[in-house]
Amino acid sequence: MMYLLHWEPKISTFFNSMASKLKVFVDNSIIIPALSEIYLEDKNRRHWNLLISANKAGIALYINETLLNELVSHIKMIKNIYEESFFNKESYYIDDEYELLYVKEILLRAYLYSKKREQVLDFDSFLDNFVDPSLNNIKEELIQFLKETFGIMYISNEAWDIKINSEDLENLCNALSPKKSADIKARNDAAMILSIYYLRNRDSESTKSSIFGYMTWWLSKDTSTYEAVCRTFNDRFPVSCYIRPDFIYNYITLLPSVSEVETAYSELFPTMLGVNLSYHMPDDAVQMIQITINEFHSKQPVRVKQIIRNLSEKLKSDPNVRNRNSIKSFFDEELKKLNKIP
């Protein structure tokens, strides 16, 4: 059961090694919900724990100038909305929890919930968890907070030395505009997407012989806009720039460490499992595993490496690859391709 549940040491090594190679830009669709979880119990801080666990796993987390400016603007907007619409009306929402469901902005909703539970005195006290409520030095304070709390490093656009083709930017911006709430958001997202592809190309990530695949990604919930990329550039960018949050959470941060696996195996083998493991393995399962091993070993190692790399990319970015059935289907298709190659 431990083997089937991904406690095999080589699988742990694979994902631990992959994590140490990833460079991930963190979108505000992850950061803002994480800030909203400040007063939740540790076990309920899903976004907060995701970022902390990713950092501990060795993933390099970044925020650039565009993303930082968006975050600054969002917090300033939240404070304005509070002062204009909630300052003298807090009791309407705090006295009736049902009304809280109609508060659109998640940070305001988080504040009102915490105020209702007497965890915070006022809105300035809530903001003071992250930055000075005056917001006079908000950019520098956010940079420090993100680094100290989540390990997210800020690097300016100039430091990245990213050069984006202006025609590509305009074309992608036009394709994204119908999907975004404002033109500036479409332009920022287009610039971020093209920045990811620029860094991949500059660092020759596509040509490096590695089963871990691409290293540079954008951690965001808004993965649907990759469709606009495909429509705009056809097959120019065949692999999405987005990495799924649940991939990092399920495959990396929740995976037991290599040391934990080795400790478990040293305690269980051979005293409990070693003698009877093969005896209790169903014959059809043993036969399937042996056939699969033989088929892979009869082919060129480079093809096996390519298959594993392709699966790595699918796991990172494709929301349809979420369970064992979809992964098995992928391997079945790749095996068919291998069998056609002499």
Helix (H, G, I), strand (E, B) or coil at 35: helix
The number of C-alpha atoms within 13 Å of 241 and in the hemisphere containing its C-beta is 27
294: how many CB neighbours lie within 10 A of its CB? 9
For the chain, which residues make up each domain, given as ranges?
9-251, 281-340
Query: What digits encode the pLDDT tens for the residues 112-127?
Result: 889 989 999 999 999 9
Grade residue 272 by pLDDT with cuts at 50, 70 and 90: very low
Confidence at 80, pLDDT banded by 50, 70, 90: very high
Q: CA 190: distance to chain centroid?
A: 18
Q: Is 61 exposed, middle or buried (0-12, 13-18, 19+ CB in 10 A)?
A: buried
Q: What is the pLDDT of residue 19?
A: 75
Is pLDDT of 268 > 80?
Answer: no
| pLDDT of 248 | 83
Give the 3-state DSSP-derived string for 42-89, with helices as H, strands as E and coil as C.
Answer: HHHCHHHHHHHHHHHCCCEEEECHHHHHHHHHHHHHHHHHHHHHHCCC
pLDDT digits (tens, 9 = 90+) for 161-201: 888 999 999 999 999 998 887 888 899 999 999 999 999 99
Q: How confident is the model at residue 143 (pLDDT cuts 50, 70, 90)?
A: very high
Task: Write out 91-143 in H/E/C secondary structure.
Answer: HHHHCCHHHHCCCCCHHHHHHHHHHHCCCCCCHHHHHCCCCCCCCCCHHHHHH
